[in-house]
């Protein structure tokens, strides 16, 4: 259902990038609300230029002055990476809504937005499917050491000795998988690995009890002691920072596999590396790190039995399309509540 066209279109800034593109957002808005807006566009250089802090906001990309100029007279802004700093928000007199095409509005100064009377919305769940599938892909790759085997064959090796009991990998079926965090991504991972006939344990004090069918909620110590596979899906907060360190890793069964596609700050990577080198951890797979990009001298680059990807678990075409659609829903809701 679209919104009935009004005589005065809503001025919208689409501050896109090369993932959630302005065209993608414009098409989603047209499909959701119809031609009741006029669009101005701005395209940042992300992901060709890495994101980072801009003034006081994190994980942003773009120039404050360019954004201020583009926001002149704009009521609604849709973005993924643009830096909505206190300075930008103070200069945007007409702005009433910012929609961030991400799970959270980390590139917006929320206190400054509230002071300026600007509503801020995000698009949680946009990458849940992609991130869950990537986590399971990493899990399976680590269990069977697929990247190392692939590299060996490409280099001309054909090693029958890899059938030795000391060299073979493990099956997911029949194993116990521990999930730390059971939000949208953790729940989807749980459903996928249960289809592989794995038992699923969950540690998440905030999990909705109605979502726990088929999985077993336990305390963190019990989860660690029983899990042959540990996969992290918690948010990074002051309470969860560094929650998995040497003491927690020591509770895992010898040979366990560790996967982190959530946030690097959840994990003590030096302790992980020690556990890999000692053989206590059988393998590990990471899409996120405590320092990004991964430094040239990082021990992870030469660690045994590790699978690494560069923080792209959520990077699918469907994620970008879903983010644009969810942003359009947020704009439609804003217009409906104001009788536009």
CB atoms within 10 A of CB 49: 13
Residues in the chain: 340
CA-CA distance, 44 to 28, in Å (whole number)? 19
Catalytic residue, chosen from 263, 305, 322, 340, is 263
E strands along the chain, which residues?
Answer: 10-16, 37-43, 52-54, 57-60, 76-79, 97-100, 119-121, 176-180, 199-203, 216-217, 229-232, 256-260, 281-286, 306-308
Cα–Cα nearest to 256, from 162, 167, 139, 149: 139
Q: Is 87 a catalytic residue?
A: no
Q: Is 187 a catalytic residue?
A: no
Q: Is 203 a catalytic residue?
A: no
Catalytic residue, chosen from 115, 270, 292, 301, is 292
Q: Give the active site residues.
A: 263, 292, 311
């Amino acid at each position: 259902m679209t919104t009935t066209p009004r005589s005065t279109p809503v001025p919208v800034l689409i501050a896109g990038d090369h993932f959630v593109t302005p065209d993608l957002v414009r098409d989603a808005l047209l499909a959701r609300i119809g031609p009741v807006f006029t669009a101005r566009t701005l395209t940042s250089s992300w992901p060709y230029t890495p994101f980072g802090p801009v003034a006081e906001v994190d994980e942003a990309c773009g120039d404050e002055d360019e954004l201020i100029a583009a926001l002149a007279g704009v009521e609604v802004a849709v973005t993924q990476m643009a830096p909505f700093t206190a300075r930008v928000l103070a200069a945007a007199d007409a702005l009433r809504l910012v929609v961030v095409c991400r799970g959270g509005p980390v590139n917006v100064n929320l206190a400054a937005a509230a002071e300026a009377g600007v509503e801020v919305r995000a698009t949680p769940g946009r990458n849940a499917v992609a991130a869950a599938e990537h986590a399971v892909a990493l899990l399976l790759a680590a269990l069977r050491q697929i990247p190392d085997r692939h590299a060996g064959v490409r280099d001309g090796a054909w090693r029958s000795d890899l059938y030795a009991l000391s060299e073979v990998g493990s099956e997911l079926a029949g194993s116990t998988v521990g999930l730390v965090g059971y939000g949208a991504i953790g729940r989807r991972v749980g459903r996928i690995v249960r289809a592989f006939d794995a038992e699923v344990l969950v540690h998440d004090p905030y999990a909705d009890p109605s979502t726990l069918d088929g999985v077993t909620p336990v305390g963190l110590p019990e989860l660690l002691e029983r899990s042959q596979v540990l996969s992290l899906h918690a948010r990074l907060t002051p309470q969860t920072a560094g929650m998995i360190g040497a003491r927690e890793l020591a509770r895992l069964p010898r040979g366990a596999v560790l996967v982190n596609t959530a946030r690097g700050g959840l994990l003590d990577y030096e302790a992980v590396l020690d556990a890999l080198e000692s053989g206590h951890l059988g393998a590990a797979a990471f899409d996120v790190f405590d320092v990004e990009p991964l430094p040239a001298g990082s021990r992870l680059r030469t660690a045994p039995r590790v699978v690494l990807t560069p923080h792209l678990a959520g990077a699918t075409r469907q994620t970008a399309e879903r983010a644009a659609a969810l942003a359009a829903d947020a704009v439609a809701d804003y217009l409906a509540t104001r009788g536009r």
